[in-house]
Chain A
């Protein structure tokens, strides 16, 4: 006879959150423990929201989409980077330690300024389509068609949400602050694939053919393993490395 499964006894989660406000000279970084009753299908984002609404409205953490698309809620969860909205509490132990992503400017508590880092990276690597013809572009005319397979390949890399998890998961980036990270190398690969971008490999080499670029990567593969979007970063970086060696 089939039985209806009874609800399991819920756990009381102990969330230890690294608290610090860098704009307050009196603020000292410390761990603050919050207790939350675990609910069915609870995500870390839900747990944090509950803490903010019911226990401590001063707790800072970022979110927008709650669905793993905006990349705002990246944080260190028990030592590893991940998205709070994509992390189910049932996959975590009862004691959860949360810290802000390293390598980015701290805004406060779990909130970091990934946008500033990403913009700097984007400007440095010129991650936009370079095309002389754009100045004379007739926006009423039909675009050149693209092979569906290539469009899909570009789209696959375009899925990056710039959450910063790959940078926080990278041993190289942790040691060398100027390293562009998997996010940067992935974006360069994306434009290298794009036929609308007229840049040559030699021009891409000028951007990433350095030890802060693709030749700084030590293939520790933390980026590949911790990417919340499961992008094939190792494959892309290996591709870019081969292209850049051929160009260099």
Chain B
């Protein structure tokens, strides 16, 4: 047998998995940094300024955040266009699959459908979130974010996105492991049990962490509703000689 190999299917499958892996790692990091609000407003302020490059350049450059948002959006676009290959493509296929899923009562089959639904939801939810971050990168901070979440009613978007992204990411990372990892046949059943346990543990952990952060932002936003637009001044600057009054 001779002839040129069609490398497209291999590359598409690998690239879908790789972009998925990168996005999962990103969202886990994102959750860790975002939940810095649980440690207090100063901690979240410090993280914000760190991402704006202040420790490195001496002053904040919110454009850096826009850059990251653009990169993440590109990764999502590539991941989505590759994942679309796997979506049921016609009403007939949807019916076939949902009848099959209902009859099988098989966890991993159902979890795949959960990924289809959450993936589809994120076409809209993640785009809306990323657009705001991309266009208003300077609007992130203990008060700015809380005001957006409470007074701007963005908590509705974030609550839906939180559930969608962590179900999708948790199930996705489990599927990636089953799809690629060289798990020896002898211990594959036990390994899969452990991976499933880890998957649910990760999902519950990040949903818990994300919910706690969201509620904290909502609480701060509610208390700060009369001063929307005012920016947070960290306590370490308030006490210094260079303190700038919060006059905005």
Q: Cβ of B105 < 8 Å from any Cβ of A?
A: yes
Q: How close is A125's CB to chain B, nearest CB, in angstroms?
A: 13
Q: Is B105 in contact with A248, judged by CB distance below 8 angstroms?
A: no
Q: Cβ of B86 < 8 Å from any Cβ of A?
A: yes
Chain A 232-248 interface residues, beta-carbon cutoff 8 Å to B? 232, 234-236, 238-239, 241-242, 244-245, 247-248
Q: A175-B93, A220-B109 are in contact. Are A235 and B188 (CB under 8 A)?
A: yes
Q: Is B108 in contact with A225, judged by CB distance below 8 angstroms?
A: yes
Q: 1/0 per position for B58-86, CB-CB distance to A under 8 A?
A: 00000000000000000000000000011
Q: Is B108 in contact with A222, judged by CB distance below 8 angstroms?
A: yes
Q: Cβ of A205 < 8 Å from any Cβ of B?
A: yes
- Quick one: closest A residue to B103, CB to CB? A79
Instruction: Pick the residue among B9, B102, B183, B192 that contacts A215 (CB under 8 A).
Output: B9
| CB contacts between A and B, total, < 8 Å | 106
Q: Is B97 in contact with A238, judged by CB distance below 8 angstroms?
A: no
- Residues in B whose Cβ lies below 8 Å from that of A235: 183-185, 188
Q: Cβ of B3 < 8 Å from any Cβ of A?
A: yes
Complex CA–CA separation, A222 to B104 (angstroms): 8
Q: Cβ of B100 < 8 Å from any Cβ of A?
A: yes
Q: Is A242 in contact with B106, judged by CB distance below 8 angstroms?
A: no
- Residues in A whose Cβ lies below 8 Å from that of B5: 202, 205-206, 209, 247-248
Q: A232-B188, A238-B181, A242-B180 are in contact. Are A220 and B7 (CB under 8 A)?
A: no
Q: How close is A131's CB to chain B, nearest CB, in angstroms?
A: 14
Q: How close is A216's CB to chain B, nearest CB, in angstroms?
A: 8
Instruction: Pick the residue among B13, B100, B106 that contacts A225 (CB under 8 A).
Output: B106
Q: Cβ of B193 < 8 Å from any Cβ of A?
A: no
- Residues in B whose Cβ lies below 8 Å from that of A234: 178, 183, 188, 192
Q: Is A239 in contact with B1, judged by CB distance below 8 angstroms?
A: no
Q: Cβ of B88 < 8 Å from any Cβ of A?
A: yes
Q: Is B192 in contact with A248, judged by CB distance below 8 angstroms?
A: no
Q: 1/0 per position for A71-85, CB-CB distance to B under 8 A?
A: 000001001100000
Q: Is A239 in contact with B109, judged by CB distance below 8 angstroms?
A: no
Main secondary structure of the interface of B (DSSP, over half): helix
Instruction: Pick the residue among B3, B6, B96, B104 that contacts A210 (CB under 8 A).
Output: B6
Complex CA–CA separation, A199 to B2 (angstroms): 11
Q: How close is B189's CB to chain A, nearest CB, in angstroms?
A: 9
Q: Cβ of B182 < 8 Å from any Cβ of A?
A: yes
Interface-central residue, A174, A175, A209, A244, by most chain B CB under 10 Å: A175
- Quick one: closest A residue to B13, CB to CB? A215
Q: Is A169 in contact with B106, judged by CB distance below 8 angstroms?
A: yes
Complex CA–CA separation, A206 to B3 (angstroms): 9
Q: How close is B102's CB to chain A, nearest CB, in angstroms?
A: 8
Complex CA–CA separation, A218 to B112 (angstroms): 8
Q: Is B9 in contact with A211, judged by CB distance below 8 angstroms?
A: yes
Q: Is A79 in contact with B105, judged by CB distance below 8 angstroms?
A: yes
Q: Is B1 in contact with A171, judged by CB distance below 8 angstroms?
A: no
Complex CA–CA separation, A210 to B5 (angstroms): 10
Q: How close is B96's CB to chain A, nearest CB, in angstroms?
A: 5
Q: A80-B103, A156-B185 are in contact. Are A171 and B7 (CB under 8 A)?
A: no
A-B contact pairs, 18 of them (CB 8 A): A102-B100, A156-B185, A174-B97, A174-B100, A175-B93, A175-B96, A199-B1, A215-B13, A219-B178, A220-B106, A220-B112, A222-B108, A225-B106, A235-B184, A238-B182, A241-B180, A242-B182, A248-B10
Please name 8 further chain A to chain B contacts, defined as beta carbons within 8 Å, in addition to the given A171-B97, A248-B5, A248-B9, sorted by A numbering: A79-B104, A175-B88, A218-B112, A219-B178, A219-B179, A220-B106, A238-B179, A248-B7
Hey, which bits of chain A sit against chain B, CB under 8 A?
76, 79-80, 102, 156, 169, 171, 174-176, 199, 202-203, 205-206, 209-211, 213, 215, 217-222, 225-226, 232, 234-236, 238-239, 241-242, 244-245, 247-248
